[in-house]
Structure 1
Amino acid sequence: MDNDNESLATLDPTGRLYNEDLAPAKERKWGSYSFFAVWMSAIHNIGTYTFVAGLFVMGLTGWQVLAAILIGTGILFVCMNWAGKMGQRTGVPFPVLARISFGIWGANIPALVRAVIAICWYGIQTYLASMAVVVLLLRIDPGLQHWQDQSFLGLSLLGWACFLLLWVLQLLVITRGMEAVRRFQDWAGPIVWAVMLGMALWLFAMAGWNIPMGLSIHPLSGPEAFRGVFTGAFLLVATYATMLLNYCDFTRFAKSGRSVVRGNFWGIPVNFAAFAAISITMTVGTVVVFGKAITDPALILAKVPNTFVLVVGALMFIVATIGVNVVLNFVSPAYDLANVWPKKITFRRGGIISAVLALLVMPWNLYSNPVVVNYFLGGLGAFLGPLFGILAADYFLIRRGIVNIKDLYRSDETGEYFYTKGINPKAIAVFVPTAAITAIMALVPALQIVAAFAWPIGVVISAIAYFILMRGAVKRGHPQGGLELEPQLAE
């Protein structure tokens, strides 16, 4: 593989398309447990609990919430296997894979959309985790309230200290490369189970070992419940649409295609369903014990009278937040920014730039501004469906999995993915209107009833439109502009 990567470098003498981090993966050490651990890191967090609890607050019973989760994870499992195959077979990260359909320069469009979303949410998640540290420190030493009462740029001095602490800890993980990410997630995800199971048992005992899963705080009629189940299912898929787009950043290191599928199976439908079952049981339990649904597990933890248990639990939730942040919001922009200027920006430098930008946007102000979160980030998030639809249609329907790896790094006009001045105008012609449709569906209040379905509609419409425009434009099995480089498979 070393010689292959050296030959790829010669196709881009300017350094505008190639560096070692963007080249096909040399080492493939990630097995089934690694991908299972990716999903534990992505799922075992406060956000997932809040999502599951939110479906219950919406009016669904515990059993109906589980039905929504099972449907959603089933769809997510299938889609992640597709996305994973693209990375495992080619060995390249998302922004390089995007060159197939958008062109060698046009690929920066989906890459930067994904990067902006990830950087903003990285900062927001770091801020939320730092607030848990603030609460923890104030519980241990109330005298620190003095630092909490003084602020700078909209954040208390204690908040700044906690935010910077987590900011540095996450930076230490990501700047050591993808192997450090793998080793961190291998143990970060599982430890949350100990806290969740402990809190669930505590609530069970407080409820007299009787938690009715058929309970609903706002009973829905049959049609409303049916719509609520499928709304919840597609909201779940849309929540992980960012991960779906760049899952190849992880699967490019897979030992085999089977390891990806096995890791996905245990990590998505099985693990997610189990975590959701615990989450909804705890939510129903809070209604029985406290008389109201508590949608934040940190607030449940705060009710535990034992300070030692509170400290241990809070620390585990903090580790879990770091895990989900690294997996969902840090790896992608590191690659995406490296793709913009490969000659100067490596994966490590891309990660550092992402972290600095996440600090400069002052995420506490972003999070407190509904306009920014709902319209700016929500609007960008609506673009992810059309982007995935175009990529999937090109790889699976147009090219049938045959990719000219060498031409992904060819910077001259003879390359297959040069298209028109490095941009595929047909991909842009599909993306712009379909992204506008999904953004309108997601953001216009009058269309709120269909907002949850913006992602699948965007995928389907963009995939069909792209297939129609590109059909016949590519000769399957006969890549132009150079000899195809066979993917490194280990089935």
Structure 2
Amino acid sequence: MERQEQQQRELYRARGYSDDLLPKEKEKQTWKAFNYFTLWMGSVHNVPNYVMVGGFFILGLSTLSIMLAIILSAFFIAFVMVMNGAAGTKYGVPFAMILRASYGVRGSLFPGILRGGIAAIMWFGLQCYAGSLAFLILIGKIWPGFLSLGGDFNILGLNLPGLIAFLFFWAINVAIGFGGGGVLNKFTAVLNPCIYIVFGGMAIWAISLVGIQPILDYVPAGVQKAENSGFLFLVVINAVVAVWAAPAVSASDFTQNAQSFRQQALGQTLGLLVAYILFAVAGVCIIAGASIHYGEDTWNVLDIVQKWDSLFASFFAVLVILMTTISTNATGNIIPAGYQIAAIAPTKLTYKNGVLIASIISLLICPWKLMENQSSIYLFLDIIGGMLGPVIGVMMAHYFIVMRSQIDLDTLYTKAGDYKFYDNGFNVTAFSVTLIAVVLSLGGKFIPLFEPLSRVSWFVGVITAFVLYVLLKKRDAPGISTEHKAA
């Protein structure tokens, strides 16, 4: 079997595919449940997520409802991450190649670029900027004079200290991206104990300041109790899950390293559940408790840390926030972007080429403009969730229902210009279904009748695409493996 797999890899290499895109050798599929348990912890506790929790209070839901909605979100996220990563585990193949099975060799480029190019690069830049704000606080606590460097210097909205902090933090993120999953796993193993200390400690701090009952009763000034709490409860779940729309699409980039489906399923499920239980309790207690204590609604965890008198506590908390941002950026953004860009021209580009290209683009888009107001972040999340949700629906329907978990790798790793299946390399059914699902999930942005659907855009996109694809796609789909046909 090993000899056959090696011959298979040599064949694909001869067709021009770089080693980064080839199926993983069995000896390199070493990740166990613990690796996946630690992987996602840092991706949950980051600055934009805490800002999002603050926004949930505006909906008028109770504190307990927000906590419960966040925790329930973890079940949906874990399910999609595990199931959409199943093909990666079975075949050891990254997302960029798995996507070809459902959309076609040429057709996979559009949803692939949407995830690995647009969503990943924009989020990478956004997280770099959010992290640079934390980095500025860290430097300002140690060297206050740094914050006044450059005087009136300003370039595209950034002063000199802000520019230096952004470029330095951006460079660290790029370096982690070059290291890939191996470096990231070692990084998260160190990070996770610190996350429990900092965010668990901040929650205890907030409760000790004002007590648990005022936190449970907290309502921001000017906000009334929600009338349609059931629907808004679902809106909160959708918002949390939508944050994972992009990582869920490309789950195979990480599950290709798994020893078995059981290992990645157990590790991801437990990791996400534990992470979100801590996040739900800590996030709500920290935001509500600090707002009550300081007498003003405080939604950004960085604003809270900046007000602390203890230099050590501020330094350690900001350092951990920086590390969680790096972890988030690597797992959800720069690593998928590197693989996807490499897949655009597999005979010319490698994973590291893809990381470099994505990193440069993330600078050029001026990501700090995206964080100028909260509405722009939520609009971005809604659009990405609404567009990538249907892709997840199509991928899962194709793999589990149409293909019955069988993929012909030789068809995926076709020679350049040789499109063996679908219409000239495009799965027209997949594109049609995706378009219909996107219109339904995002149509509310433009058509008032669809407005409720757009507020739960991720769920609408996934469910619509899954059902339509199963109904429209014939069982004898091209590209199915010869073994499956015989069966």
TM-score using structure 1 length: 0.90
**Structure (1/2) with the larger helix percentage:** 2
Which residue number corresponds to residue 181 of structure 1? Answer: 184
Q: Distance in 1 between matches of 2:374 and 2:55?
A: 18
Which residue number corresponds to residue 398 of structure 2? Answer: 394
Q: Distance in 2 between matches of 1:308 and 1:381?
A: 39
Q: Structure 1 242/414 Cα, relative in aligned 2: closer, same or farther at 3 Å?
A: closer
Which residue number corresponds to residue 235 of structure 2? Answer: 231
1:130 equivalenced with 2:114 (yes/no): no
Which residue number corresponds to residue 220 of structure 1? Answer: 225
Which residue number corresponds to residue 23 of structure 1? Answer: 22
Counterpart mapping for 1:5-404 below 5 A: 5-10=6-11, 13-15=14-16, 18-26=17-25, 27-115=28-116, 116-144=118-146, 145-147=148-150, 149-207=152-210, 211-217=214-220, 218-220=223-225, 223-368=227-372, 378-404=382-408
Q: Secondary structure at the match of 2:120?
A: helix
Unmatched runs of 5 consecutive residues or more in structure 1: 485-491
Shift of 1:320: 1.2
The residue identity in structure 2 corresponding to 1:350 is: G
Shift of 1:443: 6.1
1:427 equivalenced with 2:430 (yes/no): yes
Shift of 1:211: 4.4
Q: Structure 1 152/50 Cα, relative in aligned 2: closer, same or farther at 3 Å?
A: closer
Q: Secondary structure at the match of 1:152?
A: coil
The residue identity in structure 2 corresponding to 1:66 is: M
Q: Distance in 2 between matches of 1:202 and 1:87?
A: 42
Shift of 1:305: 1.0
The residue identity in structure 1 corresponding to 2:236 is: G
Q: Distance in 1 between matches of 2:279 and 2:374?
A: 29
Q: Structure 1 426/204 Cα, relative in aligned 2: closer, same or farther at 3 Å?
A: closer
> Contact 1:68 / 1:230 at 8 angstroms: preserved in 2?
yes
1:465 equivalenced with 2:468 (yes/no): yes
Task: State the Cα RMSD in Å.
Answer: 2.6
> Contact 1:379 / 1:443 at 8 angstroms: preserved in 2?
no
Q: Structure 1 470/319 Cα, relative in aligned 2: closer, same or farther at 3 Å?
A: same
Shift of 1:3: 5.1
Q: Distance in 2 between matches of 1:372 and 1:275?
A: 23
Which residue number corresponds to residue 487 of structure 1? Answer: none
Q: Distance in 1 between matches of 2:15 and 2:81?
A: 34
Shift of 1:47: 2.4
Provide, for residues 383-437 of structure 1, a one-character-per-residue CA deviation record: whole Å limited to 9, x for no partner: 101111111100011011011122210237987x632222222222222232233
Shift of 1:14: 4.7
The residue identity in structure 1 corresponding to 2:21 is: L
Q: Distance in 2 between matches of 1:189 and 1:451?
A: 35
The residue identity in structure 1 corresponding to 2:329 is: N
Shift of 1:330: 0.9
Q: Structure 1 148/107 Cα, relative in aligned 2: closer, same or farther at 3 Å?
A: farther
The residue identity in structure 1 corresponding to 2:225 is: L
> Contact 1:19 / 1:342 at 8 angstroms: preserved in 2?
yes
> Contact 1:374 / 1:443 at 8 angstroms: preserved in 2?
no
Q: Structure 1 122/412 Cα, relative in aligned 2: closer, same or farther at 3 Å?
A: closer
Q: Distance in 1 between matches of 2:443 and 2:130?
A: 29
Greater CA deviation, 198-207 or 260-269?
A: 198-207
Provide, for residues 173-219 of structure 1, a one-character-per-residue CA deviation record: whole Å limited to 9, x for no partner: 12123211221222224322222122222223322575442443445
Q: Distance in 2 between matches of 1:157 and 1:304?
A: 25
> Contact 1:5 / 1:24 at 8 angstroms: preserved in 2?
no
TM-score using structure 2 length: 0.90
Unmatched runs of 5 consecutive residues or more in structure 2: none
Provide, for residues 144-172 of structure 1, a one-character-per-residue CA deviation record: whole Å limited to 9, x for no partner: 21336312233212112111111111121
> Contact 2:79 / 2:269 at 8 angstroms: preserved in 1?
no
